[in-house]
């Protein structure tokens, strides 16, 4: 071969080598099944869901309490976020999303303790497993944080930490495994797209158990103080609304039409429930309140959550109407008929809303309502039966386990309630040595 020929051939051979490298790189990428678009969306959704707790839920709850307790509520939300994140890494994720020993479908195993075996190239479907871990971690963060609203203004901070930590392992992780981790409810075909059972039903019924054990705030129900900062409540609710797009849309675990529809129906249900709540309050009390409006928003968001990946816009509209009416009524029942001081309506809004959506999806997923349809050979009543079993199991386990955990926590902390003098002075100064507002 002449020197001149080699000079001409060299660039061509180099180009071929580059093309072959690119081809093999693409082939390897395809073999790994990593989807960069899906990964980018779940990274974004993870940030959105954490945004729901920090700062969304913290501000929403903080504005609803008296001014002398606002910092204690913020402290609860932030501290729970930190503690749940660490526990999720140590053991929570493994118990939720790995296979249990033998044929066990009740709880996962220990193969992912401390995220063991998960590297940057370990995949969970089309996304890195560390991204899936982080996304699910934000659900584990917000669920016990939701329960804060039931027991504000009268619980020991030490009790909050101990009870929340135990609850994550004993209640949240098993139910997550049943529904999303390949457990027995998943095998039955239960529909819970983003947490009607896993998040809202568990938090709602557990909150009611804690409230019953803790007792009512001083002055309840006749001297209950109004929210000290409705503006803060509205800002927090709006942050929750935006973050909920990651909560429901991200649960598709892909950047596709399913995620888009989940986002759409989430917004429709929230808007509808807000209007319904506002109109009921307007008619009942003569004036529509900002706090009432955004409480309706949260009711709609909680109720659409389990159905968001299965229903269409018409189903979302129906769910929003049902959420506004039913959750509004349950707020009255819990506080006036049952005489339970569920301070910020966790059970009535989240527990009842999540449960309602869990049952309604059996009907509203039908094509007649614009839904995705039922599995072949299944009727609406077949699906309703599965949903009812899932709901009953979740409620039963959450109630019994939480009752036991409250007793354990009370023994470790010499009672879970603060002294009456501390309650009257406010937990900001008595528990944390700080005040939210200086008026001098």
DSSP code string of 348-393:
IIIIHHHHHHHHHHHHHTSGGGT---PPTT--HHHHHHHHHHHHHH
- Cβ atoms of 154 and 76 within 8 Å: the answer is no
Q: At what angle do helices 36-51 and 129-146 cross, to 10 degrees?
A: 20
Span 199-210, average pLDDT: 98
pLDDT, mean of residues 368-393: 94
| Residue carrying the six token digits 């039908």 | 366
pLDDT at 19 exceeding the cut of 60: no
Q: Give 6 or 372, the one with higher predicted confidence.
A: 372
- pLDDT at residue 280 tops 90: yes
Question: pLDDT tens digits for 227-242?
Answer: 999 999 999 999 999 9
The average confidence (pLDDT) of the chain is 92
DSSP class of residue 305 equals G
Strand partners, 128: 123
- Domains in the chain, start-ordered, CATH in brackets? 35-432 (1.10.3430.10)
pLDDT at 439 over 80: no
Partners of residue 155 on adjacent β-strands = 417
By CB atoms closer than 10 A (0-12, 13-18, 19+), residue 358 is buried
9 pLDDT higher than 80:
no
Rounded to whole angstroms, how far apart are CA atoms 252 and 12?
45
How far are the Cα atoms of 109, 117, 168, 180, 425 from residue 174, in angstroms, in the given order? 11, 22, 9, 10, 39
pLDDT for 311 beyond 70: yes
- How confident is residue 3, by pLDDT bands cut at 50, 70 and 90? very low
Please, which pLDDT band fits residue 8 given cuts at 50, 70 and 90?
very low
pLDDT at 21: 37
Pick from 297, 92, 326, 338: nearest CA to 208: 338
pTM comes to 0.91
90-148 pLDDT per residue, tens: 999 999 999 877 657 899 999 999 999 999 999 999 999 999 999 999 999 999 999 99
Q: What is the pLDDT of residue 102?
A: 62
Q: How confident is the model at residue 377 (pLDDT cuts 50, 70, 90)?
A: confident
Q: Label residue 259 by pLDDT band (50, 70, 90).
A: very high
Proportion of the chain above pLDDT 70, given as a percent: 92
pLDDT tens for each residue of 337-362: 999 999 999 999 999 999 999 999 99
Read off the pLDDT band of 32 (50, 70, 90).
low
First to last CA, the chain: 93
**Interatomic CA distance for residues 194 and 249, integer angstroms:** 9
Q: Distance (Å, rounded) from C-alpha 128 to C-alpha 118?
A: 9
Look at the chain and count its residues.
440
Place of tokens 């997923």: 365
């Amino acid at each position: 071969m002449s020197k001149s020929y080699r000079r001409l051939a060299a660039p061509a051979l180099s180009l071929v080598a580059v093309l072959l490298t690119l081809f093999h790189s693409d082939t390897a990428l395809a073999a790994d099944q990593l989807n960069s678009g899906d990964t980018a969306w779940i990274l974004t959704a993870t940030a959105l869901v954490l945004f729901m707790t920090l700062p969304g839920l913290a501000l929403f709850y903080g504005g609803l309490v008296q001014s002398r307790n606002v910092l204690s509520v913020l402290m609860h939300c932030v501290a729970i976020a930190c503690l749940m994140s660490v526990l999720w890494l140590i053991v929570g994720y493994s118990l939720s999303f790995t296979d249990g020993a033998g044929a066990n479908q009740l709880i996962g195993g220990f193969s992912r303790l401390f995220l063991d075996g998960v590297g940057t190239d370990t995949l969970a479907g089309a996304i890195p497993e560390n991204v899936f871990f982080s996304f699910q971690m934000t659900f584990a963060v917000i669920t016990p944080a939701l329960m804060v609203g039931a027991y504000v203004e009268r619980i020991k901070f030490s009790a909050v930490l101990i009870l929340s930590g135990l609850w994550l392992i004993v209640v949240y992780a098993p139910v997550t495994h049943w529904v999303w981790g390949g457990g027995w409810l998943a095998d039955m075909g239960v529909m819970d797209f983003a947490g009607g059972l896993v998040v809202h039903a568990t938090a709602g019924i557990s909150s009611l158990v804690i409230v019953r054990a803790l007792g009512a705030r001083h002055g309840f129900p006749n001297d209950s103080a109004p929210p000290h900062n409705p503006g803060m409540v509205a800002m927090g609710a709006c942050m929750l609304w935006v973050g909920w797009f990651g909560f429901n849309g991200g649960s598709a675990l892909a950047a596709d039409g399913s995620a888009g529809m989940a986002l759409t129906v989430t917004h429709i249900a929230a808007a509808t429930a807000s209007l319904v709540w506002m109109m009921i309050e307007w008619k009942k009390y003569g004036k529509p309140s900002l706090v009432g409006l955004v409480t309706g928003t949260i009711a709609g968001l909680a109720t659409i959550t389990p159905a968001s990946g299965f229903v269409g816009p018409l189903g979302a509209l129906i769910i929003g109407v049902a959420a506004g009416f039913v959750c509004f009524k349950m707020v009255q029942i819990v506080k006036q008929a049952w005489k339970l001081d569920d301070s910020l309506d966790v059970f009535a809004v989240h527990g009842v809303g999540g449960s309602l959506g869990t049952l309604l999806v059996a009907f509203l997923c039908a094509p007649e309502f614009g839904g995705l349809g039922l599995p072949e050979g299944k009727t609406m009543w077949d699906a309703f039966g599965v949903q009812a079993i899932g709901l009953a199991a979740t409620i039963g386990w959450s109630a019994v386990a939480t009752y036991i955990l409250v007793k354990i926590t009370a023994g470790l902390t010499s009672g879970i309630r603060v002294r009456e003098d501390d309650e009257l002075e406010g937990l900001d100064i008595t528990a944390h040595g700080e005040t939210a507002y200086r008026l001098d």
